[in-house]
Amino acid sequence: MAWRPHILVFAAVLGLSGLVVSACTGAPPTDASSVSGAIAPVTDGVDAVDWEVTAWEIADAEAREIASVTAGEDGAFTLDLADDIRRPVFVDARPAGGEAPLLAGVIAEGTGEVTLNERTTVASGYGMAQFFGDAQPAGEEMPIANAAAMAANLADFATGEYSEVLTSSPNGSETETLAAFTSLTAMLSVCLVDESACVALFETAAGTSSVTSAAAAFAAIARDPSAEPEALFELAQDAAGTEPGLSDPPAAWTLALRFDGDGESLDGPGNFAIDPRGHIWINNNYEYGDDPTVPVCGSDEMFEFAPDGELVGTYSGGGLSGSGFGIDFDAEGRLWLSNYGFAAPEPGCPADQQPLHNSMTLFDDGDFLSPDTGFTQGDLSWPQGIEVARNGDVWIANCGNDTVAVYPDGDPEQARNLGSLGLEQPFTVIDNGRLMFVSAMVNSAVAVVEYDGTPIAGSPLTGAFDRPMGLGADAAGNVWVANSGGITLPCPDRVEEGRGVPSVTMIAPDGSSTIGPFTGGGVVLPWGLAIDGVGNVWVANFDGQRVSAFCGADPAVCPRGLGTGDGISPDDTGYAFDGLTRSTGIAVDPSGNVWVMNNWEQVPQQTNPGGHQIVAFVGAAPPVPVAPFTDGG
């Protein structure tokens, strides 16, 4: 007797807030709207008769069964949606006697139909990867709904086809993600018709954990994509599909998507700030120009993107001028940006159009609070990284005059400059909850400073760093440092030196000691650094078209028995993606996506070196929640 697929799973983001399920032939209840569903695998030979469909409420700490129904002979079913169940909703369907959920999908808001197949299953697993248990996802309503929206960028849940985002520029044939996604769906196609392949998929994906649904298996792959890359590739090769996937096994099964907004504004995006809704705010270096040989001046725009990568706002004013790396929210939700003043040199950008290099911009709820010149108090000079400390002070790294400035409680009128603190070309500032840390490029140092501006004994720290740039602090206060080993900045004088050793280093919370440097993870030219929701470390590389990930201070949360400082991403390649250019900023959002900047082109022409996209590694990291803003009262 042929083995039969057992269970079908799909997640639903509902336009209404409740769900009641009835048999296909039953009358829908009063005050309910219907969603038509179809079990329609891409591969041939799968019997879709008599699936038992079960609906789960998942916008909570644990999935809760809310209804069930049996699908018809052709795999069709009807879901009758009521008003009292929170979205999103997860639904699984299994044939009589079945045990393992095998398919997944999402019902988008306002959608009246859903198709369930291999594509929708992989999309569900990856998009909501960080919220899956062994079978179903669960989590708070906002982040899990945002995760489901990102999943819809991989598959069209109404039709079961590839999504428009996945198949269109700047994705589609321009990157490897479509082929990788197709190979992942091929693994499931084999599983649907061959029980032994299904067992192999579950066991290979799960590693030392447990998964009891195919969607959960793909979520496990997304969470540790380099654990068994070749074994999974062999499963995909067993599928006799008509659509081409990858021709060679990848080093890691990451799925990355590029977003370019309106396609004619992003040019040299620098860094991210993420608000409590999961919206992504981006500063920008250059006026847009699609011909890199035509000189451009500094950008006067910043951008707001929705959690699924859609551009929702473009803002100009308040002294914005070629913003570099500094962008951060304060507790009230006001957005601070530093104006580094990137532009093509004269005569490309004329002298009277050269941006300023000495100001800060402040934005709040659609309005700029800074003047047209920006705030210039504090002896600012080519400011780069900024940090709004937990006490409300705004710290600014001035790489042009080797100083650090502070706006006490965010008030430029009280600005003070702390001097050099022993730093040459300071770049990034971070608050670990106890002290302030400032990295410096030229003298390979990190200053450790009290909130009142007094350096601690032994500051600045040296010896464990090599031209450090990005900083990040974990929940315990450990501070991680991205050692570029080779990046130099025009601040305003560029220091030309040979390459050192790219790595990351960990500093103890009190600044008393360092661990490392660590050189694995495929790190090649690290710039930005972010800490994920369990304390592991993510690095954006300005070369090599890759992101690197490292085990953080707590090895208990790391995969495969790795220890502190070990590379989670492959040592040879990192998490490589051919759609990356030269990356600077990196951030982890509340739904578990890792966002990276395409800041400069691979072969940058100084007339206009800017890249034109932001990139999401879908479902790759434990989420980083953002606390709600205060009312300022």
3-state class (DSSP) for residue 591: coil
Are the CB atoms for 594 and 588 separated by under 8 Å?
Answer: yes
The rounded distance, in Å, linking the Cα atoms of 578 and 600 is 14
CA distance 430 to 471: 6
Q: Decide: 144 and 138 in contact? Cβ < 8 Å.
A: yes
Q: Which residues of 385-416 are buried (b: 16+ CB within 10 A; e: fewer)?
A: bbbbbeeebbbbbbbbbbbbbbbbebebeebe
Q: Order of strands, edge to edge, in the sheet holding 445-449?
A: 426-431, 436-440, 445-449, 461-462
At residue 430, the 3 state secondary structure works out as strand
- The Cα 95–Cα 93 span in angstroms is 7
The per-residue pLDDT for 106 is 78
User: What is the distance between the alpha carbons of residues 586 and 597, in angstroms, rounded to a whole number?
Assistant: 7
Q: How much is the pLDDT for 631?
A: 82
Catalogue the E-assigned strands of 100-255: 101-103, 113-116
Look up the pTM and report it.
Answer: 0.94
Bridge-based pairing of strands 113-116 and 33-39 is parallel
The count of C-alpha atoms lying within 13 angstroms of the C-alpha of 451, restricted to the half-sphere facing its C-beta, is 13
Q: Which of 197, 172, 176 is nearest to 186 (CA)?
A: 197
List the domains of the chain with CATH numbers: 7-166 (no CATH), 256-617 (2.120.10.30)
Of 480, 461, 483, 460, which Cα lies nearest the Cα of 472?
480
> Can you give the length of the chain in residues?
633
Q: Across 212-293, where does the E strand assignment appear?
A: 256-259, 269-274, 280-284
pLDDT beneath 50: ranges in the chain: 1-32, 633
Structure tokens at 424: 């040459």
CA distance 180 to 176: 6
Q: Is 26 exposed, middle or buried (0-12, 13-18, 19+ CB in 10 A)?
A: exposed
Per the CB < 8 A criterion, the answer to whether 55 and 89 are in contact is: yes
β-pairing verdict for 311-316 and 280-284: unpaired
- What residue has token string 């959920």? 101
Cβ distance 531 to 537 under 8 Å? yes
Residue from 128, 90, 95 nearest 9 by CA: 90
Residue reference for tokens 């007797």: 1
Q: Are strands 52-57 and 64-70 parallel, antiparallel or unpaired?
A: antiparallel
List of residues 6+ apart from 437 with CB closer than 8 A: 429, 430, 431, 446, 447, 448, 449, 471, 473, 479, 507, 511
Place of tokens 């990137």: 342
Does residue 617 contact residue 254 with C-beta atoms inside 8 Å? yes
Three-state SS string over 271-314 comes to: EEEECCCCCEEEEECECCCCCCCCCCCECCEEEEECCCCCEEEE
- Concatenating the DSSP letter of every residue in 492-530 gives SS---------EEEEE-TTSS-EEEEE--TT-SSEEEEE
